[in-house]
Amino acid sequence: MNEFGFNFNNTYKDLPNSFYQSAAATPVDFPNLVAFNDDLAKKLGLNHDALNSTEGAHIFSGNQWPDGSAQIAQAYAGHQFGSFTMLGDGRAVLIGEQMTPDGGRYDIQLKGAGQTAFSRMGDGRAPIGPMLREYIISEALHALEIPTSRSLAVVTTGEAVTREEMLPGGILTRVASSHLRVGTFEYAVRAEGENDHKVLADYAIERHYPELKELPEDEKYLQFLHAVVDKQASLISKWMLVGFIHGVMNSDNMAISGETIDYGPCAFMDEYHPATKFSSVDVGGRYQFQNQPGIGQWNLARFAETLLDLLHEDKETAKELAQEALSRFGKLYESHFLSGMREKLGIIEAGEDDGEFAEELLNLMVEHEADYTETFRLLSLDRIEESELFRQEGFEAWYAKWQQKLERQNVSKEDAFELMKSVNPAVIPRNHLVEEALNEAMHHGDYSYFHNLNEVLKRPFEDNHDDIYKNPPKAEEVVHQTFCGT
């Protein structure tokens, strides 16, 4: 361990050489630390005082490497908008795998650090705006108790990058349980080594599902597939319950760990509508809100394909086992989603009609263009009469049924409302607030909007925030498109 608290044990480099390339961040002349996550630094066992400094800015820009750092770019492949592509970290460098005081292991990666062997035609750099977006939204999801990679720091580089316009450059320091993706396995089955995908599977099991490693091989890899299916069904249900839209659910953006990863044009819904999308590159709406569970299952099918010869020596039997595992996704997702929706509505004692009942509310919200977050929060506060939805045709009958459900329970309404307030956020990273924070930082060098928004989002279930953070956008504030910055 060094003065900064880095304590690396870089196991990824024990994999075959084809899985990574040596990489060194391209130095920058004027790194400036504009965001530092003190709480995360402490969790990682890092010396936050030493890193929240000019010297820390040099580390988080790649100008200076801590002792024992990995300095690699990882190889992977992926189905991007349904089409297969060989890929890799084109603008990211893994600093190393940090061992934490509690025995955890986390990748620490620089994103936007310059060209690597996988950059293709890209510059390997990133504008500051998308790096700040990932910081805001990944930390917001963490506060909402949704599994996610996290953001440790953001530096400006003092250099401009060219996209549609010249923009200030930025580098994000990202922390994840690992960067193993469905796309890493898609790469492995096409790599030179005959058993590379088996080596990778054993590595992933050791790192993320160690309870499986002692199983006989004819069970281990099948249970590995089941475990990843379970994790993703749970994760995507959590996205849907808060109105989060990932935006680019390519198979290389699905983590084996079950964490949300690779934030690009991600956004939260305001008005509830299943077909909502924001990503400027998702022209056909492949990754719109309502498609996320189906795309999750599609990506998992690509993952299952990479494991077939590990599941059983007979191809047809292997396919049957894989299909059985994949077929569980829909029921698992529906179970997770319905359980979460019951909590959002204060339904502690489950009823057979709860799914239809929740769907009835969602249909009313679509019909009357109700704000997703505000509607559930006002229900939680027993103040739904303040919403426009309360006065709309059909809502009164639904509301009466809801009251009856609450009254029939063997728990008090107060207990039901407390449960609701613990899962229905008062504040989310609303798009107009995120865009304002990014614009002020990118074009005016003012990071106060960014910092203020992050402080609010740390406490999403509290009501003592200024109304500007809680209210839906006015008509002129609505954001219709988001951009990934690549």
- Number of continuous H segments (helices) and E segments (strands) in the chain: 16, 10
Shared domain check, 112 and 248: no
Which of 196, 252, 282, 371 is catalytic? The answer is 252
The answer to whether position 365 is within a domain reads: no
pLDDT tens, residue by residue, 235-248: 999 999 999 999 99
pLDDT band at 123 (very low <50, low <70, confident <90, very high): confident
pLDDT at 87 over 70: yes
Retrieve residue 171's tokens: 């580098």
Shared domain check, 260 and 211: yes
Determine the Cα–Cα distance for residues 263 and 261; give it in Å rounded to an integer.
6
The answer to whether position 238 is within a domain reads: yes
Shared domain check, 227 and 152: no
Kindly state the average pLDDT of the residues 109-137. 93
The answer to whether position 213 is within a domain reads: yes
Q: What is the pTM of this model?
A: 0.97
- Looking at residue 151, its pLDDT comes to 98
Shared domain check, 193 and 97: no
Residue 384, SS3 per DSSP: helix
Shared domain check, 271 and 193: yes
Shared domain check, 194 and 163: no
Residue identified by tokens 């004027």 is: 30
Kindly state the average pLDDT of the residues 271-287. 96
pLDDT tens, residue by residue, 413-426: 999 999 999 999 99
- Looking at residue 366, its pLDDT comes to 98
At which of 342, 375, 400 does a domain end?
A: 342
Shared domain check, 139 and 73: yes
Shared domain check, 198 and 136: no
The answer to whether position 283 is within a domain reads: yes
Q: Residues 6 or more apart from 283 whose CB is under 8 A from it?
A: none
Kindly state the average pLDDT of the residues 224-239. 98
The answer to whether position 208 is within a domain reads: yes
Shared domain check, 308 and 173: no
Shared domain check, 323 and 207: yes
Retrieve residue 459's tokens: 């406490």
pLDDT tens, residue by residue, 336-392: 999 999 999 999 999 999 999 999 999 999 999 999 999 999 999 999 999 999 999
- Looking at residue 1, its pLDDT comes to 58
Shared domain check, 319 and 297: yes
Shared domain check, 234 and 153: no
Packing angle, helices 354-367 and 315-344, rounded to 10: 70
The answer to whether position 430 is within a domain reads: no
Residue identified by tokens 């809100």 is: 289
Residue identified by tokens 């499986």 is: 212
The answer to whether position 415 is within a domain reads: no
The dihedral through the CA atoms of 243, 416, 147, 323 has a sign that is: negative
How many domains does the structure of the chain reveal?
2
Domain containing residue 230: 183-342
Is 67 tagged catalytic? no
Residue 19, SS3 per DSSP: helix
pLDDT band at 486 (very low <50, low <70, confident <90, very high): low
